[in-house]
Amino acid sequence: MEDAQAASIAESVIKTAKAYPVVAAALSTLAQLDPAKGLGIAKEMEKESSPQIIAALGDIYAASGEAKYLSFFEERLKEVDGFGAINFYNAYRDLAASVSLDESSTVGDNLKTVATDMNQSPWRRYGATSALNGLKDAMAEKAGTETDGAAYEQRATDLQTILDVILAEETDPQLKGIYQQQFR
């Protein structure tokens, strides 16, 4: 099957399927085969509240590398939960790591807000902390390759400071144990 034919089938499934997992899979397929069309349809689906659709949109927006989609993640940080929250937060991290320092300046604080809110689910807190750690690593890596290396190094240091606060404030013994193994 050619890409154009597969993209057409995926678009048809998006329009006709009723099951959210099927629509999300078709949307992801369409975005891989025809990124422009996938982004266009994703934009139309932003009001959907299905966790599967939100996750698919997050993956598509992260792959775009466009800072304008950071707000999509920020508006939904507390709408995703369970294992899907980890993937969603990682997509947020990926997008933040691909845009400029100025464009991603608030991401660390946004993740900290979720990670230190003990009223949030452990999935969200872990997802936010893991994404923050990954963003810190991405900034440290860019410090060695970007012309403004010192600014990236400073961002990595700032993110480590936020991680230290999260590790100190976490009250769940299971999450504390995971954090100590993974983020120290």
Cα distances from 96 to residues 31, 41, 91, 168, 169, in angstroms, run 20, 22, 9, 25, 24
Q: How much is the pLDDT for 1?
A: 64
Say yes or no: 37 and 107 in one domain.
no
Q: What are 78-127's pLDDT values in tens digits? A: 999 999 999 999 999 999 999 999 999 999 999 999 999 999 999 999 99
Range of the domain at 52: 1-64
pTM of the entire predicted model: 0.92
Q: What is the mean pLDDT of residues 130-141?
A: 96
* Total of domains in the chain: 2
Q: What are 141-158's pLDDT values in tens digits? A: 999 898 889 999 999 999
Q: Which of 129, 139, 145, 141 is nearest to 178 (CA)?
A: 129
Say yes or no: 84 and 41 in one domain.
no
Q: What is the mean pLDDT of residues 25-47?
A: 93
Q: Give the amino acid at 57.
A: L
Q: How far apart are CA 151 and CA 147, in angstroms?
A: 9
73 occurs within a structural domain: no
Say yes or no: 101 and 154 in one domain.
yes
Say yes or no: 60 and 85 in one domain.
no
- Confidence grade of residue 34 (pLDDT, cut at 50, 70, 90): very high
Which of residues 64, 94, 117 is at a domain's end? 64
70 occurs within a structural domain: no
Whether 7 has a pLDDT exceeding 90, the answer reads no
Q: How much is the pLDDT for 97?
A: 96
